[in-house]
């Protein structure tokens, strides 16, 4: 592959945000280059989110990346909440005018987009480590990177940082121009993959005196489950029996429902944080996805927020190349941040309603249970949860 020296849009990061943006730009006739620091195997097996909102699915379909999703993705029309040994189902289509969500792992989204990119798309360079981005305030920002042992530069009309929270593109924006807001949480998620069919048809979110638990799935034969644990927990300190017993305890309701255990194939502890940086644009450098914002996973918003960012961005680039107007690019940060802050609030709400803290008082617990009772008894409260979970309009 000939390594280009210039492109219209330089995209740093080959995760779902960068790849979806590249696909949308390609279909709009806008040239771009994607630089990804890791190798293809790592990127395709990087475990992350598994819930896709309606808007994300619509975008994947529009760019021809949903054939396998439509065959293999699991359509979910709701979630189940559990607390005080009772359960309540939230019916998404009934409460949102027909919207729903899909269970389809980020690894599979990335595989589908990479296959398209390599077959019919602009350059995608793996193991291209970006070291700096300079000239953000000029009309020709430069990406400095190393690929195949050679130091290279790529001049761009615009640079988009899709390189995650620890990426380098955000550092191209002067610190004096950035405002950040952050919240950390006093607990983590202990996540497991298990080769056992799910014990439920839809996701179960459980509030328990012992802590939060989530039952999800990857496929009809692979379950994905999570336990709230203290920060710093060693995943190897739990035996398989302890994990399944604790999950069963936290999911317990007054019925004959039972959790089916199975062989655990992966385990990891995931810390939780909320983070937003503003603005999402400075000069000719723009941020998308985790480079600009992080949400705790309780609301299933991470991948979907990233997709929403690049949908807005692709439209803005299309308008710019077609008409010369930068109105969409100028409005990009403000447009996206409205949705970002709504998703941050929803993710915080789901997290603080369903998790318990080490020093939690009886008063705090009663507030949580009262909120869950309200959702179960009020169509308005249930609709607010359903609309946010299934996904608010993009742009």
- Which of the residues are catalytic? 76, 205, 297, 301, 389
Peptide bond preceding 279 in cis form (omega within 30 of 0):
yes
User: Measured between alpha carbons, how far is 62 from 329 in angstroms, rounded to an integer?
Assistant: 21
Instruction: Determine contact, residues 13/162, Cβ cutoff 8 Å.
Output: yes
Instruction: Determine contact, residues 82/207, Cβ cutoff 8 Å.
Output: yes
């Amino acid at each position: 592959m000939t390594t280009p020296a210039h492109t219209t849009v330089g995209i740093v990061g080959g995760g779902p945000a960068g790849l979806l943006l590249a696909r949308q730009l390609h279909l709009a006739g806008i040239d771009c280059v994607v630089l990804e620091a890791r190798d293809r195997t790592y990127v395709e097996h990087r475990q992350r989110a598994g819930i896709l909102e309606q808007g994300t699915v619509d975008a994947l379909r529009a760019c021809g990346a949903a054939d396998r999703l439509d065959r293999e993705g699991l359509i979910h029309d709701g979630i189940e909440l559990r607390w005080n040994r009772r359960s309540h189902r939230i019916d998404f289509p009934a409460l949102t005018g027909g919207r729903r969500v899909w269970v389809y792992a980020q690894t599979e989204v990335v595989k589908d987009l990479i296959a398209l990119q390599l077959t019919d798309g602009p350059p995608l360079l793996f193991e291209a480590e970006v070291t700096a981005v300079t000239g953000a305030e000029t009309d020709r920002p430069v990406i400095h990177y190393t690929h195949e042992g050679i130091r290279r530069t790529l001049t761009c009309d615009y640079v988009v940082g899709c390189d995650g929270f620890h990426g380098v593109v955000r550092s191209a924006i002067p610190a004096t121009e950035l405002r950040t807001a952050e919240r950390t949480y006093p607990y983590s998620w202990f996540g497991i993959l298990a080769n056992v069919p799910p014990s439920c048809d839809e996701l179960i979110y459980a509030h328990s005196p012992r802590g939060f638990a989530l039952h999800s799935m990857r496929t009809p034969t692979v379950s994905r489950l999570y336990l709230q644990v203290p920060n710093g927990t060693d995943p190897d300190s739990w035996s398989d029996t302890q994990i399944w017993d604790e999950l069963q305890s936290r999911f317990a309701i007054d019925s004959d429902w039972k959790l089916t255990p199975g062989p655990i194939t992966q385990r990891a502890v995931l810390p939780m944080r909320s983070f937003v940086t503003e603005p999402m644009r400075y000069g000719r450098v723009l941020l998308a996805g985790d480079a600009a914002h992080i949400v705790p996973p309780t609301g299933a918003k991470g991948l979907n927020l990233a997709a929403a960012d690049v949908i807005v961005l692709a439209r803005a680039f299309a308008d710019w190349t077609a008409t010369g107007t930068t109105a969409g690019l100028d409005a990009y940060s403000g447009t996206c941040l409205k949705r970002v802050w709504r998703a941050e609030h929803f993710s915080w709400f789901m997290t603080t309603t369903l998790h318990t803290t080490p020093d939690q008082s009886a008063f705090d617990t009663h507030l949580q249970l009262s909120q869950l009772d309200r959702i179960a008894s009020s169509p308005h409260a249930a609709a607010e949860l359903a609309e946010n979970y299934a996904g608010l309009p993009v742009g």
